[in-house]
Structure 1
Amino acid sequence: MTSLCRNLVGLLFFVLPPMHSHLFTNAASASPPITRPSIRRITDTALGDQDDDYSDNYDNDSTQPPPMVLSYTKIPQQSQFCQYNPCLEKQEPCSSLSAQTGCLCPGMSAADERPHPPLIQALVPVSGESDRGKIEVQWCAPSSVVSQYRIVIEGRDGDAPVFGDASRRGLVPTLEVGTKVCVVAVNDAGSSEPSEFSCKRYEAHESSDHTLLAWIIGGGAALLLLIVIAALICGKCQKFRKGKRDSTDGFLKGHMEGTHKQPHKH
């Protein structure tokens, strides 16, 4: 029995140390190492020292930074259209106005292109003494380079009347009602094509003398009618007053006669 106890003690002596070391090793490998982050404190004194070092380095540096140059871009103001009326007679060209004031002109076709057709405005009879019976043709310039204008009259052969590039009206001989008149723009590249905007048929217009005579006749007729109406009203008023006066006189006369016929009572 004693020998058995000794054997057990010896067995435990050999078994327990390896198990103890194995358990300790596993526990050490399973537990992660404990680490603590390092905290660095920055004080105002340290910042002041850094600023002093930076200023010292900047003062000791011989190379200075280049000066800052500010460039300003002038923004042009919004341009306006030129005070140019294409229907105005003998007006300064829009290109000249643009060169003087910087204003904007409408788009123009090039000088080597045929001009666009002008816009015909009216065919007006002339009432002046020297040009009585003639017709004044009025038009507006196209957006093209024009050297001259021509007035083409339907049914009339021969050279058409020619007018300068600054002209916006021209006189032609007497026209019959319904005659077609076209204004053609011309430059070095050719002539404009007739269109519904550049042609117009002549219609009869009453002259100013005829209009004045019509007003006189109309005014005289109206005045005569007023006189007749006034006379009729006055005649009716007189008849009404006369009838009223006669009825009053008859009533008074009858009353007086009745008074005289009554007997006197004593």
Structure 2
Amino acid sequence: MAAIWGHHFPLVIVCLVSIRGLCPLPTTAQVPGTRPTRPLRPRVFPSEAPGLPPDDYYEDEDTVTSIVPKVVSPAARTLQRCDFSLCLENQTPCSELAASTGCLCPGFTLHDTPPLAPDLTSVLWNGSDVVLQWCAPYSYVTAYVVTVGGQQRQTFGKGQRSGLVGNIGHISKVCLFAVNEAGDGDESCKMYHPRNRSLPLTAGLVGGALGLLLLVLLAVLLWRHRKQRKQEASISAHSATESL
């Protein structure tokens, strides 16, 4: 038996080699668009191999970074409008309120765009001057300019919402517009009708005359009343003398 096996042993070797050539061992295939897989190196700890560099302390050379999504609380998602009015003077800018509280500001045009027209709400005489009141536009503003009859009369700061423009002696068109670095904005205008300032004087004179007349009447009535009492007293004394 040993002799037969020894006789055929070279033939068996040749067959095995031929079979291996026809059926190659499986190799690692790479799918297009994917990274090739690499065998993991054995995990080695510093205590077992103190001479190895730190990279060999890991099973793979790639570093995986985990991305944790930002969690927003329900309170932060509750958005509210900023407590900001376009008609009140010298307020904290809405942009600062939004930065500090997270509130929402209305949309404003930027500094590179001419501002929109402000809302001129009233032009009234206050007894000594004509006073204007207005609301700001939804724009970036550096100043407000007032014109009377087409002529520039007064300039106000960006935080103001009212101002005095002096005396206007005749019917005039009063306009207000905002300005910034990009130029002048559109106007908001009202017609001003001056009050008749002689009417209060006339009313005062009439009232004074009526008051003086009333005082004269009261004085006359008082004088007549006293005179009548004296006459009655004199008549009574005369009657008493005759009776004696």
Return the structure number with greater strand share: 2
- TM-score by structure 2 length? 0.50
- TM-score by structure 1 length? 0.47
